[in-house]
Amino acid sequence: MPKRSKQLNFNSLRAQLSLEFMVIIGFFLVVFLPLLAFVYTNVWSKNSTYDSAKLAESVFKLKSAINIVGSMGPGSALELSLYLPNVQSISTNNQNLAINYLTSDGLTHSYVIYSDSNLVGLNEGPKLAGVYTFVVNCTDQNYVHIYLR
């Protein structure tokens, strides 16, 4: 009989140890899963903010290049490399350059650049994020021509 009680004692000790282990694992899951979800959503929103800032910087550089080349007149040219995240299309229309891009929430927004010079060139653009080389030059008819190299 005493042998049997020792065996029951050992089994109850093992069951208690398993229960304590499950409580500790449950505690870590309760604490760390919400923390992990919070970090994941913050990183996602920061990435979206970073892409928007880089696109705004690229648009500003392209606008400056267009205005510089247009004011210098025929024969002038500039080449610049720009990072365009999530750009869907680029199109020119008279004195406007429209850049349509996709945000992280799935909406399409546009940057429109207004220029003093007439623009020709891009009517389609890159469809993915990446670095692209643009050439901006002024033609003999005083049009600013923009194209991808």
- Tell me the DSSP string of 60-79: HHHHHHHHHHHHH-TT-EEE
pLDDT at 81 over 90: yes
- pLDDT: is 95 or 11 the higher one? 95
- pLDDT: is 124 or 110 the higher one? 110
Q: Residue 137: helix, strand or coil by DSSP?
A: strand
**What are the extents of the domains in the chain?**
54-148
User: How far from chain centre, in Å, is Cα 71?
Assistant: 33
The dihedral built from the CA positions of residue 119, 125, 131 and 135, taken in this order, carries a sign that is negative
Q: Residue 131: helix, strand or coil by DSSP?
A: strand
By the 10 Å C-beta count (0-12 exposed, 13-18 middle, 19+ buried), 102 is classed as middle
Q: What is the pTM of this model?
A: 0.68
